[in-house]
């Protein structure tokens, strides 16, 4: 998914219905590689994007701890 994809403007968190932010894929060491995802910084929830399809069921999201939240804020696409 690209940061300028019009779909990003209409996607919303299934829990609070607020906007989501794209976390672009990051290359790096194999075990440290970060997959593309959508992030809700208000609830600290990350939703995966699998084969270009956002997984936006409430059960698909994962709660992230505060230290990971800070790291994800740095990765958020402008």
24 three-class SS: coil
Q: Distance between CA 62 and CA 33 in Å, rounded?
A: 17
Q: What is the pTM of this model?
A: 0.83
pLDDT tens-digit map of 10-19:
999 999 999 9
pLDDT in tens, 25-78: 876 544 444 789 999 999 999 999 999 899 999 999 999 999 999 988 887 756
């Amino acid at each position: 998914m690209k940061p300028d994809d019009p779909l990003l403007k209409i996607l919303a968190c299934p829990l609070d219905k607020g906007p989501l932010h794209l976390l672009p894929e990051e290359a790096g060491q194999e075990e440290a590689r970060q997959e593309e995802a959508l992030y809700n910084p208000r609830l600290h929830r990350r939703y995966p994007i699998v084969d270009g399809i956002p997984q936006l069921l409430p059960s698909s999201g994962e709660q992230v701890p505060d230290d990971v939240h800070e790291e994800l804020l740095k990765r958020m696409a402008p």
